[in-house]
Structure 1
């Protein structure tokens, strides 16, 4: 897709040159790194916007700059270290970005993708959907690495209240009003929300263990289920075990399709979020002050889990990988932890981060001021 989008270069260039009053800057996201060269051709500034966090982008930048390789090409567990990045993260090869792992030196598409990611770092400025309290050490690292201070955290960037989280997304088996009504019947901090984002589809084996664990745990829960989509074998993906919904009726709510996640997370009844650690989900949970059970499956999710578990201490790692299945008995143990004293401490830290996020976005806060700084740069 990144290579295909580059086909827009010449039409955009012509549009700029033919326009009587063309824009004076380009703001484009991380997958459009080629727009940095376009901006240079037009003698204007390009700013890169990153919907991912600064920690993840520090790691991506290091990957494409240093081009680390395995010593044993057959060892998927061989580790790759990043000693220059704060906290010196280390990951097994199988958790490294799949886009990077598919890189072939000299291949035109691979080299284009590398140049595009490096082009992001050459941009006049960088904007992040993040905030200082969560990622200041990585934002400062990028400032030092790039040699300028045009690095702005302007998040969390979420839909304004006037739009409302219930009006987003697609079709759902349960109306948002019905979900809220069900949550209203639950006591505070008693419901676990389970959702793996808009892309991941669980295998039937993963679904079997997950639902069995929820059933055996006795906890109240909301389970958001995404059915098989294009590229998934319908016989082996996205199926809810027969009779599960009947057996947990009253204690569990199953949503097939789109879940109004922000509404759910912000409800007083939610005590934990079992998540794939996508950055949007991560920020939405932080905003709601809800600690997490992490099951990263790909992309930047392993890094986000590291941030949540090892650095912010508002989460517990329960599983890793899109092919792994969390044993039902292990899930029961993790769910039991959400009722304990240590979980209450994580909840308190999550609440403090929530306040910090709202403070950052408020007038005079770090994200508010950074957005003004970006405008001044423009």
Structure 2
């Protein structure tokens, strides 16, 4: 009797670092631990993102496709990090042009896929799966709470009672803990929706198709998101909701998300000279650039705090003149990429001033580092709520992409987070880290959920 053929999964990421990295981590798990065949579809300029994965995952294969012709986008830009915010919606729409090439590939490849796992922004892949007659799963690079809010938004379409008030409250009584959000904190894609406008309707239809998918995979773990994972199982009407996080490998490459450089070694050497639990990391992800007033207020607060810190000032963020000289010896400014996972994992780092992107939140949780939250866009506001109000491992510092923190208040919060009064916060962060690590180990909730996902994928592969 012939050996059963391993399930073949087609993975379709959204082309942005924050979305791609955790989905590539999932692809590695499916191939290395479960032995599944995995094909990852990317456009030509995003192919280099796969190199670290391909070097360590022999059962993963790339499928490189030309970017669809889409005149509304600037030529040559295939990654959302390269595009101005206004092109976010057209980029999602443009990617649907990959559907026909993917169908041709799937029907011609000898070992055709039995399932698709796609990023939650790519709802059109549900139609692709339907045309191929295979199973469709949604992968969320966000936690379970933001996706719960997202689903309610696109189903119920709540509107502001005062169209001129960006802080007009929108209530979500159907979601656990009944969150209430100001209008400005809702998804940009939802706030810019225009009924009847083709791209707007395409996006809404895609998000609604997600809610009808066969299964959902989240980069989170039960002890952090249990109530919202249970909500999704009830809301979607089936148990096929899996929490597999934290997906980022703790023993992964130092250059995760960036390119190894001399600066990385210098940073770690600098940290080696600091005492345990004495350093604050300041970083705002791969896309956020601080305006000059924000950078000036941050610099002033750090200087006033007298705390040891590493500030990763990416992109066009302008560090105030003379600041580095004044903090020499106890503060380090890094321009460009820095090895965030390695920094957070160093024993000298005890707190993290973060924009609350979900990858950053999970990296801090895994490292047992307390967070000072400054959410700016997208799911970050809900992530900050989870960190501060529910998990109790963070302190609210600032709120909004245009907000300018008070330097004195920032200095106080930073000093307290690293001092005696922040001891309870840091201890809770360490305890949550312990539970995150247990979840990913054999017998843990995320480990069991991966086994459950693979078992279900194996069933659909033979049907």
Q: TM-score with structure 1 length normalisation?
A: 0.94
Contact 2:263 2:338 in 1 (8 A): no
2:420 & 2:174 partners in 1: Cα distance?
Answer: 36
Which sections of structure 2, spanning at least 5 residues, go unmatched?
Answer: 1-90, 458-463
The match for 2:314 among 218, 226, 245 is: 226
2:401 aligned counterpart, secondary structure:
coil
Q: Does the CA contact (< 8 Å) of 2:254 and 2:260 recur in 1?
A: no
CA–CA separation in structure 2 for the residues paired with 1:180 and 1:339: 19
Q: For residues 124-163 of structure 1, give each alpha carbon's deviation from its aligned partner in whole angstroms, at most 9, with x where no partner exists.
A: 11000000000010000000001100000011111462x4
Match of 2:387 among 300, 304, 308: 308
Paired position in structure 2 for 1:124: 214
Q: Which position in structure 2 is the counterpart of 1:188?
A: 276
Out of 125, 129, 132, the position equivalent to 1:42 is: 132
Q: Does 1:98 align with 2:188?
A: yes
**Structure 1: gaps spanning 5 or more residues:** 229-237
Secondary structure of the residue aligned to 2:121 is helix
Structure 1 residue 73 displacement after superposition: 1.1
Give, in whole Å, the separation in 1 of the partners of 2:231 and 2:386.
15
1:286 & 1:159 partners in 2: Cα distance?
A: 13
2:298 to 210, 224, 235: 210
- Quote the offset at 1:181 in angstroms: 1.1
Sort the Cα spacing of 1:130 and 1:251 in 2 relative to 1 into closer, same or farther, 3 A.
Answer: same
Aligned partners of 1:198, 1:290: CA distance in 2, in Å?
Answer: 20
How far is the alpha carbon of 1:166 from its aligned partner? 3.4
CA contact (8 A) 1:159 1:165 kept: no
TM-align CA RMSD: 1.3
Number of aligned pairs? 367
Residue 352 of structure 2 corresponds to residue 263 of structure 1:
no
1:110 aligns with 2:189: no
Q: What residue number does 1:344 align with?
A: 423
Q: Greater CA deviation, 105-114 or 135-144? A: 105-114
* 1:75, distance to aligned residue in structure 2 (A): 1.1
Question: Are the aligned partners of 2:99 and 2:128 in contact in 1 as well (CA < 8 Å)?
Answer: yes
Relative contact order, higher structure (CA 8 A, sep 6+): 1
1:1-378 pair list within 5 angstroms:
1-159=91-249, 161=251, 163-166=252-255, 168-170=257-259, 175-228=263-316, 238-378=317-457
Does the Cα contact within 8 Å between 1:276 and 1:294 map onto a contact in 2?
yes
Distance 1:227 1:364 in 2: 42
For residues 250 and 132 of structure 2, what CA distance do their matches in structure 1 show? Answer: 34
How far apart in 2 are the matches of 1:102 and 1:276? 22
Q: Aligned to 2:255, what secondary structure does the other structure show?
A: helix
Q: Secondary structure at the match of 1:165?
A: coil
Cα distance in 1 between the residues matched to 2:276 and 2:431? 18
Counterparts of 2:236 and 2:444, CA distance in 1: 24
- Per the TM alignment, residue 17 of structure 1 is displaced from its structure 2 partner at its CA by 2.5
Q: Distance in 1 between matches of 2:319 and 2:354?
A: 18
Which deviates further from its counterpart, 255-264 or 21-30?
21-30
CA pair 7-370 structure 1, distance change in 2 beyond 3 A? same
Say whether the 8 Å CA contact 1:171–1:258 is kept in structure 2: no
User: C-alpha distance in 2, partners of 1:62/1:158?
Assistant: 29
Structure 1 distance, partners of 2:418, 2:244, is 34
Change over 3 Å in CA distance of 1:358–1:3 after alignment to 2: same
